């Protein structure tokens, strides 16, 4: 497969309109990827999700170069509330609409120059090597968006056995706020999606980010978010991981100034042999910062769930308050759940905790509900919804909360 990917890269480089310096950056990143290939279980961060094996099992071939599809799709997946939108079709920007906002307060840059850097994460090198363009959104100082921004990701029906590499960066200047919803409405074909984001949250700024993977597909997905927070900034991050055949959400979040806060919650809800992972790294680099993480998993029908979570506290990050908990509900004997909670603390005046639990559904509760007239299936569903609802209730955007309840089947 590597030879085919190399041919794809050479074709994309020759047919793309890149400067000499940009070609050199792409070549360096591609060669870095070729040195290691797709991550495997020998890499600690991939010990529970061997991507190299997953790719080779699901793809006989994998093309990384396709001409841009200029078609448009106008059917919004979300109709429950008004919103701004950016529409991606096959990884390329098709539409940008900030119709509810003061456009003078929002800067949108496309076709930016690539970063001249190499990463230890080879999937980021792969992303840079094949990225044709990427977009950066800047919210100018003091502006707070009136409506959420929805990122629609569409794949056309003719796309099969392709690797797509996308990048969208967000820069929140001081005293700004935005709610971002990332949602996919994809075909059932088998593709590999590699999505990267760099997000900066300025002083007194707030980002609420909701990542919703709900459409049942055979796609293999990797998402990497690198998020930096400044003084007195706040991040609310919610993940609903449900639809794809394989998905890994990789979040690196750094609190770089005092009184920053992070609330990161997630739901993994799987069946039908799906394999999903959430990996988080919360870096407390300055004092008086808080982080809260709660991840809940419901696993059924030979599925596999993974949570790797790390809280890092630097030596000068006194008065840190860090909390992390993962819980898994195993609905049958053929599922697998792996958890790796970590604390790495170099300060002495901190309050940090972590934990992980997993277990089967309570049969006594099932019996009690059935004695009140519910069927076994209804009882099981009610208990499962109650288990997940604790996480969903922490969503502070009421419109998004209602949408997530609808998507997960949790009744209001």
> Reduced to 3 states, what is the DSSP secondary structure of residue 313?
strand
The C-alpha atoms of residue 374 and residue 382 are separated, in whole angstroms, by 10
Tens-binned pLDDT, residue by residue, of the chain (412 aa): 778 888 888 888 888 888 899 899 999 999 999 999 999 999 999 999 999 999 999 998 888 866 665 566 666 778 889 999 999 888 888 889 999 999 999 999 987 888 888 899 999 999 999 987 789 999 999 999 999 999 998 888 888 899 999 999 999 999 999 999 999 876 668 999 999 999 999 999 999 999 999 888 999 999 999 999 999 999 999 999 999 999 999 999 999 999 999 999 999 999 999 999 999 999 999 999 999 999 999 999 999 999 999 999 999 999 999 999 999 999 999 999 999 999 999 999 999 999 999 999 888 888 888 998 989 888 988 999 999 999 999 999 999 999 999 888 876 4
**Strand ranges (DSSP E) for 32-118?**
84-89, 92-97, 106-110
The C-alpha atoms of residue 267 and residue 15 are separated, in whole angstroms, by 42
Q: Nearest-CA neighbor of 157 among 192, 186, 194? A: 186
Which DSSP helix (H) or strand (E) runs through 356?
Answer: strand 350-360
Asked whether the beta carbons of 112 and 20 are under 8 A apart, the reply is no
Other Cβ atoms closer than 10 A to 386:
11
| 267 Cβ contact partners less than 8 Å away, ≥ 6 residues apart | 239, 240, 241, 242, 295, 296, 297, 298, 388, 391, 392, 408
């Amino acid at each position: 497969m590597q030879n085919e990917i190399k041919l794809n890269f050479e074709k994309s480089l020759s047919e793309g309109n890149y400067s000499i310096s940009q070609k050199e950056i792409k070549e360096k990143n591609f060669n870095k990827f070729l040195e290691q290939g797709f991550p495997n279980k020998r890499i600690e961060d991939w010990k529970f999700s061997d991507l190299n094996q997953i790719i080779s099992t699901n793809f006989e071939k994998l093309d990384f170069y396709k001409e841009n599809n200029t078609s448009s799709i106008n059917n919004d997946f979300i109709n429950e509330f008004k919103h701004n939108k950016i529409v991606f079709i096959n990884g390329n920007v098709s539409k940008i609409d900030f119709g509810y906002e003061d456009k003078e307060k929002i800067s949108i840059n496309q076709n930016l120059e690539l970063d001249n850097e190499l990463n230890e994460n080879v999937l980021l090198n792969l992303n840079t090597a094949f990225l044709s363009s990427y977009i950066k959104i800047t919210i100018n100082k003091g502006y707070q968006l009136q409506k959420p921004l929805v990122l629609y990701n569409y794949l056309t029906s003719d796309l099969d056995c392709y690797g797509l590499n996308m990048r969208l960066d967000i820069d929140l200047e001081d005293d700004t706020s935005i709610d971002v919803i990332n949602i996919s409405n994809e075909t059932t074909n088998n593709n590999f999606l590699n999505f990267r984001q760099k997000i900066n949250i300025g002083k007194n700024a707030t980002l609420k980010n909701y990542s919703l993977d709900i459409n049942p597909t055979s796609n293999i997905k990797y998402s990497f978010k690198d998020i930096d927070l400044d003084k007195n900034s706040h991040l609310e991050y919610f993940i609903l991981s449900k639809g794809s055949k394989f998905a890994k959400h990789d979040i690196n979040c750094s609190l770089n100034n005092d009184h920053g806060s992070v609330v990161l919650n997630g739901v993994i809800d799987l069946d039908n042999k799906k394999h999903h992972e959430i990996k988080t790294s919360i870096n407390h680099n300055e004092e008086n910062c808080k982080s809260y993480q709660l991840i809940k998993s419901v696993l059924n029908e030979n599925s596999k769930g993974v949570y790797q979570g790390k809280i890092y506290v630097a030596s000068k990050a006194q008065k840190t308050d860090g909390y992390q908990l993962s819980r898994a509900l195993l609905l049958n004997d053929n599922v697998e759940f792996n958890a790796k909670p970590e604390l790495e603390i170099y300060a002495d005046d901190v309050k940090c905790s972590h934990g992980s639990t997993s277990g089967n559904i309570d049969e006594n509760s099932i019996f009690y509900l059935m004695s009140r007239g519910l069927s076994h299936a209804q009882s099981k569903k009610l208990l499962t919804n109650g288990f997940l609802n604790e996480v969903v209730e922490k969503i502070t955007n009421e419109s998004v909360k209602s949408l997530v309840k609808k998507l997960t089947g949790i009744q209001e």
